[in-house]
Structure 1
Amino acid sequence: MDVFVYGTLTAPDQVARVVDSYAFVGPARLHGLHIVEGRYPTLAPGGRAAGRLLRTDDLERLDAHGGVDSGLYVRVSLPLIDGGEVAVYVGDPDRLDADADWPGRGPFADRVRGYLADADVSVEPLVDR
């Protein structure tokens, strides 16, 4: 599966600490969300974000790295402009001390998924895969 990465996981040495097998597919641009710095980078509604497409079958280890079970990050699927889907991790700005706001009420993961269901958010590979 391809994963849009935009923070610490854009560095090969960091990815190698998390997963056993991976490949960087190439640069990509996320439309509809932008990067917000905090304790770790996260995403917020609006704008664009530069990153890379990371290919790995080890989403369980990426989930563990991102604290998905504890709600620190939520993994969502977004459409690729050229077809298919890509996974993206969005961190809870409150827990990451990041200046970002996700609209809606309820748990963070529900607000992210609700926003993405209504917004025009997609990932554009910047090279042929």
Structure 2
Amino acid sequence: MARVFVYGTFTDPDRVASVLDRYDLGATATLRGLHRVEGRYPTLAPGGETTGRLLETPEIGRLDAYEGVESGLYVRVTVPLSTGGSAECYVGDPESLGADAAWPGTGPFEKRVRSYLEEEAVTIGRNE
């Protein structure tokens, strides 16, 4: 079972049900260290925080396909939970999404996102 932090259309139960057969859309949570940026679809950028929800599903492959991971539209990264464990999170390429966001560093988008997450204290905390 994969745990995924969602912050866009997947915070809506009807939207989740249109893509996944098996899921639990659980508690609200806050992603600290990244903020939401609007584009063609929402994405994340360094700094700030974002409110979303924790989704649990065994169908992570269906989410990867929906988010365009194979084509590079979004990358899936693992973010630690403040209470232990981790959750997956999708970060969209701002250039492909027409979003006003910049990631530090050089090289491919995925490399810059992963480097930032390794260097900064990005975490997800449940909102109880």
Q: Deviations over 1:56-96 (max 9, x none)?
A: 11110000000000000000000000000000000000000
Aligned to 2:15: 14
Question: Deviation digits for residues 29-73 of structure 1, max 9, x if unmatched?
Answer: 000000000000000000000000011111100000000000000
Runs of 4+ in 1 over 2 A off after TM superposition: none
The root-mean-square deviation of aligned C-alpha atoms, in Å, is 0.6
What CA distance in whole angstroms lies between the structure 1 residues aligned with 2:97 and 2:30?
Answer: 23
For residues 13 and 119 of structure 1, the distance between their equivalents in structure 2, rounded to whole angstroms, comes to 34
| Secondary structure at 2:102 match in 1 | coil
Matches within 5 A, 1:52-71: 52-71=53-72
**1:1-129 equivalent positions in 2, closer than 5 A:** 1-127=2-128
How much does 1:4 deviate? 0.4
What residue identity is the alignment partner of 1:39?
R
Percent identity over the alignment is 58
Q: What secondary structure sits across from 2:16 in the alignment?
A: helix
Aligned length: 127
**Separation in structure 2 between the aligned mates of residue 94 and residue 77 of structure 1, nearest angstrom:** 22
Q: What is the TM-score when the length of structure 1 is the normalising length?
A: 0.97
Residue segments in structure 2 that go unaligned for 5+ positions in a row: none
* Structure 1 unaligned blocks of 5 or more: none
2:103 and 2:16 map into 1 onto residues whose CA distance is 28
**Structure 2 length normalisation: TM-score?**
0.97
Amino acid at match of 1:109: E
Equivalent-residue separation in structure 1 for 2:10 and 2:111 (angstroms)? 24
